[in-house]
């Protein structure tokens, strides 16, 4: 392991210990166990659909009665607020100011999904002093009062802030398309991640598929490689069809699940949300008649 990786690991272990201590204190004194789920959405290659999944999944889960907090942590391409139809100038980093509380930096989007822009913060957080980190940690801890599920839209690839988020989250959704370059980059993430931690909590989401076969194919290709070289297999959480509704909704700056709830892509996201909540396999989603017509007429 490289020096940097070892250092990162120690840092994360220290943090995990501290978290566990604080949780214990919370449970002992206030009788409240922190049951908030944290799900990071990441990818190897950029532009494969992370933000769209993060936003639409958040909306679907909120519709299902969960309180969602969506954190935009993609430094390069922060655009959760674009899809939420609003602009925010606030960011996590303001929490370092004693007068600013979590509620002050939280915005409310579609269906009442709460979201926070972490953009400037993520980069800055890497250079914070220990006491500043503690302050941020403490204030952010209150996310668990405001949300049942925290969803983090991370950047793509293997830079340090992406890895930190991925490692810190309990569940990770790794999104890929069937494109060979996207697959290769997804594998690189799995590989890097497997050297950092023994926890195997990455699940695949295959985006922009033409038919279900595509999804099985991707899962098989990834698993052939991970089994051979890493001695591990990766579960598939679900898939999302290539769908004009996604493209149109992005242009309209709306989540597709709201703009076209009957579209194949939206029905897939509802099923993925359902699977996350029930723990059962994603139900098969058919493309439907409209999509058939779209294909027929070349959309």
Ligand X SMILES: Nc1ncnc2c1ncn2[C@@H]1O[C@H](COP(=O)(O)OP(=O)(O)O)[C@@H](O)[C@H]1O
- Interacting residue ranges for Mg ion, rule: CB under 5 A: 50-51, 74, 77
Q: Which is nearer to ligand X, 39 or 102 (CB)?
A: 39
User: Pairing mode, if any, of strands 149-156 and 107-108?
Assistant: unpaired
Partner whose footprint covers residue 240, from ligand X, Mg ion, none (CB < 5 to 8 Å by kind): ligand X
β-sheet bridge partners, residue 149: 37, 68
Partner whose footprint covers residue 226, from ligand X, Mg ion, none (CB < 5 to 8 Å by kind): none
Angstrom distance (rounded) from CA 47 to CA 277:
26
Partner whose footprint covers residue 114, from ligand X, Mg ion, none (CB < 5 to 8 Å by kind): none
* Shortest distance (Å) from residue 274 CB to ligand X: 18
Measured CA distances, 200 to 53, 84, 194, 196, 231 (Å): 21, 31, 8, 11, 12
CA atoms within 13 A on the CB side of 39: 26
Q: Which is nearer to ligand X, 78 or 102 (CB)?
A: 78
* Shortest distance (Å) from residue 264 CB to ligand X: 9
Give the closest residue to 118 by CA, choosing from 155, 86, 146: 155
Q: Which is nearer to ligand X, 193 or 256 (CB)?
A: 256
* Shortest distance (Å) from residue 80 CB to Mg ion: 8
Residue nearest to Mg ion (CB): 51
Angstrom distance (rounded) from CA 113 to CA 254:
13
Angstrom distance (rounded) from CA 227 to CA 231:
4
Binding site for ligand X (CB under 6 A): 43, 46-52, 77, 207-208, 240, 242-243, 246-247, 250, 265
Instruction: Classify 147 as helix, strand or coil.
Output: coil
Partner whose footprint covers residue 243, from Mg ion, ligand X, none (CB < 5 to 8 Å by kind): ligand X
Partner whose footprint covers residue 107, from Mg ion, ligand X, none (CB < 5 to 8 Å by kind): none
């Amino acid at each position: 392991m490289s020096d940097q990786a070892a250092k990162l690991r120690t840092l994360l272990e220290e943090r995990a210990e501290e978290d566990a201590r604080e949780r214990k204190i919370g449970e002992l004194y206030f009788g409240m166990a922190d049951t908030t789920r944290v799900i990071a959405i990441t990818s190897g290659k950029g532009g494969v659909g992370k933000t769209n999944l993060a936003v639409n999944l958040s909306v679907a889960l909120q519709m299902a009665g969960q309180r969602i907090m969506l954190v935009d942590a993609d430094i390069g391409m922060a655009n959760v607020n674009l899809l939420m139809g609003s602009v925010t100038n606030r960011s996590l980093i303001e929490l370092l100011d004693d007068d600013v509380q979590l509620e002050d930096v939280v915005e409310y989007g579609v269906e009442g999904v709460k979201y926070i822009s972490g953009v400037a913060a993520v980069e800055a957080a890497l250079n914070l002093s220990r006491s500043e980190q503690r302050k941020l940690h403490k204030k952010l801890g209150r996310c668990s009062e405001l949300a049942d599920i925290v969803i983090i839209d991370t950047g793509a690839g293997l830079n340090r802030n992406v890895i930190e988020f991925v490692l810190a989250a309990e569940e990770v959704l790794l999104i890929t398309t069937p494109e060979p370059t996207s697959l290769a980059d997804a594998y690189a993430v799995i590989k890097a991640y497997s050297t950092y931690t023994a926890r195997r909590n990455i699940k695949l989401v295959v985006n922009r598929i033409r038919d279900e076969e595509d999804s099985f194919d991707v899962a098989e290709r990834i698993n052939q490689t991970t089994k051979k070289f890493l001695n591990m297999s990766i579960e598939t959480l679900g898939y999302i069809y290539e769908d004009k509704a996604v493209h149109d909704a992005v242009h309209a700056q709306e989540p597709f699940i709201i703009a076209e709830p009957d579209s194949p892509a939206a029905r897939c996201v509802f099923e993925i949300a359902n699977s996350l909540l029930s723990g059962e396999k994603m139900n098969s989603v058919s493309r439907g008649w409209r999509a058939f017509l779209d294909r027929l007429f070349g959309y």
